């Protein structure tokens, strides 16, 4: 005689799965991939909305910015710098001005 708890469990599972996929999508946009994404999937699965909030406040990985075209990789030290930078802030090397499209 307990249909109600069954529905609650189903609802909790659906919320967990949506939060897990949401966390993965956000983490992916922030430049995380592979094992890191699987980790964020678990964070969303176990912490639900809290997991999403954690993913939202984690810093975007430099590669994420590179993918979005906001950053480029310094050819000397391989660190990400602003796409229109003319001097690398990490190693001080002179950089080519951003390629004009
Ligand atoms: Zn550099």
The neighbouring-strand residues paired with 71 are 82
Q: What is the pLDDT of residue 101?
A: 45
Which residues line ion ligand 1, judged by CB < 5 Å?
74, 76-77, 88, 90-91, 93
Taking the centre of ligand 1 as the mean of its atom positions, its distance from the CA of residue 80, in whole angstroms, is 8
What residues does each domain of the chain span? 3-60, 61-101
Over residues 43-95, the pLDDT tens digits come to 999 999 999 999 999 887 777 777 778 888 899 998 889 888 999 999 999 98
d(CA 50, CA 30): 17
Question: 29 with 55: CB under 8 angstroms?
Answer: no
Taking the centre of ligand 1 as the mean of its atom positions, its distance from the CA of residue 68, in whole angstroms, is 20
pTM (2 decimals)?
A: 0.62
Taking the centre of ligand 1 as the mean of its atom positions, its distance from the CA of residue 67, in whole angstroms, is 18
Q: What is the CA radius of gyration of the chain?
A: 20
Taking the centre of ligand 1 as the mean of its atom positions, its distance from the CA of residue 25, in whole angstroms, is 30
Question: 79 with 90: CB under 8 angstroms?
Answer: yes
């Amino acid at each position: 005689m307990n249909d109600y708890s069954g529905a609650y469990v189903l609802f909790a599972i659906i919320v967990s799965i949506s939060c897990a996929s949401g966390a993965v999508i956000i983490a992916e946009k922030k430049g995380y991939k592979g094992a890191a994404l699987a980790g964020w999937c678990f964070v969303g699965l176990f912490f639900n909305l809290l997991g999403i909030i954690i993913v939202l406040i984690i810093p975007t990985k430099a590669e994420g910015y590179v993918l979005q075209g906001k950053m480029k990789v310094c050819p000397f030290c391989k660190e990400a710098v602003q796409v229109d930078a003319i001097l690398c802030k990490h190693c001080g090397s002179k950089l080519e001005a951003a390629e004009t499209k």
